[in-house]
Amino acid sequence: MRTAFGTLALILVFAGCGSTTAGPETAADTPAESTTTTAAPTTTAAPTNPDGDFIAFTSDRDGDFEIFVMNADGTQVRQLTDNDDFDGPPVWSPDGDFIAFFSDRDRDFEIFVMNADGTDVYSTGQSGVPGDWGGPVG
């Protein structure tokens, strides 16, 4: 069931994580064998659902940004979106049944809504970024 946007404002907190390495200071610090460093995936944090049981977040762990959900204790990470386009950041509906996010899957950034389990994704037809459940920012 598609519902109208409510008015509850949710605050998103974005946190990036990554790996950086400094180069050797002198020739003596250079290792004899070359090594390859793989950067850690970038993840953005999002609020928990209204009941506090689940956390929705965006991560590029599969090579591009997708929406994931996990239990509040960090277990049972589940990927909800899977495409070659940018999806994120997620915003919970006031009742916790839906997740809004923006995506460029239609070649322009539109706001999409899906069930909290990742099913029934649809575009709202609105451009922008969902800053809260009341509509786009800006």
Which tens digit of pLDDT belongs to each residue from 88-132? 999 999 999 999 999 998 888 899 999 999 999 999 998 877 876
Residue 136 has pLDDT above 90, yes or no: no
Is the whole-model pTM more than 0.75? no
Structure-block tokens of residue 59: 């991560």
Q: Please choose, from the candidates 111, 76, 116, 79, the residue with its C-alpha nearest in 3D space to the C-alpha of residue 96.
A: 116
Phi/psi-derived region of residue 62, left when phi > 0, alpha when psi is between -120 and 50, beta in every other case: alpha
Confidence of residue 48 (pLDDT cuts 50, 70, 90): confident
Confidence of residue 29 (pLDDT cuts 50, 70, 90): very low
Question: Taking CA 30 as the corner, what is the angle to CA 26 and CA 33, rounded to the nearest 5 degrees?
Answer: 170
